[in-house]
Amino acid sequence: MKLLIRAARIVDAQSPFNGQVRDVLIENGLIRQIGESITVEESDAALKVIEQDGLCISPGWIDLRVSAKDPGYEHKEDLTTVCKAASRGGFTDIAILPNTKPVLDSKDTLGYIRQATQGHPVNVHPIAAITKKTEGTDFTDMIDLHHAGAVAFSDGEKPLLNADLLLKTLQYLQPFNGLLMNRPEEQNLTHFGQMNEGLSSTLLGLKGMPAMAEEMMIERDLRLLEYAYSQSANPASGTVLHFSTISTARAVDLIRQAKQQGLPISCDVAAHQLAFEDTALMGFDTNLKVNPPFRGSADREALKQGLADGTIDAIVSDHNPQDDESKNIEFDHAEFGIIGLETAFAVVRTHFADLPLEQLVDKLTHAPRRILRLPALTLDENQLATLTVFHPEMEWTYEQTVSRSKNSPFFGKTLRGKALWIINKNFVEQL
């Protein structure tokens, strides 16, 4: 494979070419040359040229939180369609949750993921379960799962409610520098909840999910981490505990304070949390039913501030496909979730236009790679060509999806910013 990308602005804070408009020549999976007006043999039959006004290029984007549904729920999504959706959204890498059937809690299930995704241009990184069947009772063999390719450990959509389990997991992961990812929700406070607890839930007559349920879990986890960290003879240098999909203003403040104290933590936010508030649910649109729920305007502004000042490390799609039978029913009975792989970048560009492009790209590239301990990527000569080519200003309308499910509130909406190609593993995928 030989590819020449003409006059693209390089968006990569780690690259010596950052901010420059350059040609990029790729050959056999490597960046061979970066320069101005690179000369090539135009008659070369193996050469493909990408040229378009306004192009940008960055290291390949990575999504820390994707529900692939396969194995077990292939009627909602399978590994082929989730990879197609990821590439359509500009992602060269995705980390998938363990909440499948069977759960990703053994070397066999991780082997199935590896084998089923070998031929795709998207790298799929399994997050293994902490507890068997994600039931919150018995530990999995995390050392074996680590050696089998698990990039992190989490019960995924299920928070670790048992404080002793979380503490022991932190201690168990220390010898091999493992990462624990937890979604903060005290489910005893959100049982039967449908949306954010507040004026809107009262007006709609729906049981609310209080912000306190998220904040209490973050406070608890931080205390447990502080204890485990203080007991460790060899504390890890990177992130030890990652909070997935935070949604409240106080959650941002708690994480900001903990980082200032030096605790080894990180966190992410779902792109759709920047687009909606709980008032959007007045029409009972089940495509807006997500967990964590959309909060109030102060929470949304705090999330934006957290992204801007670096408190929030990464942006995720929180891609959670649900079939028609799970969504086209009464709001009370509908499943939580939005498909987001194809729209994550554009949603942030559209609804948080003040976030500098370089900062946004960092939260889709370098930050998530650091969190998962994946090898660093940068746009430089003789480096691996794992790249996303995109147009940050292009306006487009989201009209169709390659996902098996259609549960998105963004259909028919005009969005700003679009991925156009991904380059990975000798693939050149036009989107």
3-state secondary structure of 428: strand
Which of 155, 221, 299, 318 is flagged as catalytic?
318
| pLDDT on residue 236 | 64
Q: Which helix (H) or strand (E) holds 168?
A: helix 163-173
Our measurement of the distance from residue 101's CA atom to the centroid of its chain's CA atoms, rounded to an integer in Å, reads 21
Contacts of 135 by beta carbon, 8 Å cutoff, 6+ apart: none
Q: How far is CA 110 from the centre of its chain?
A: 19
Of 188, 323, 313, nearest to 243 (Cα)?
A: 313
Structure tokens at 99: 């909440």
CATH class assigned to 60-371:
alpha beta
Question: Rounded distance, CA 368 to CA 155, Å?
Answer: 19
Q: Which pLDDT does position 333 carry in this prediction? A: 97
Q: What is the pLDDT of residue 35?
A: 96
- Is 380 a catalytic site residue? no
Question: In this structure, what DSSP letter does residue 186 have?
Answer: -
The pLDDT, as a whole number, for residue 1 is 77
Q: What is the pTM of this model?
A: 0.96
pLDDT (0 to 100) of residue 42: 67
Show me where the domains of the chain are located.
2-56+383-395+414-430, 60-371
- The highest-level CATH class for domain 2-56+383-395+414-430 is mainly beta
| DSSP, res 319 | B
Residue 114, pLDDT score: 95
Instruction: Say what the pLDDT of residue 199 is.
Output: 97
Q: What is the mean pLDDT of each run of 10 residues along the chain (431 residues)?
A: 94 97 95 92 80 97 98 97 98 98 97 94 97 96 96 97 96 93 97 97 97 98 93 73 98 98 96 98 97 98 98 98 97 98 98 98 98 96 96 97 98 98 88 72
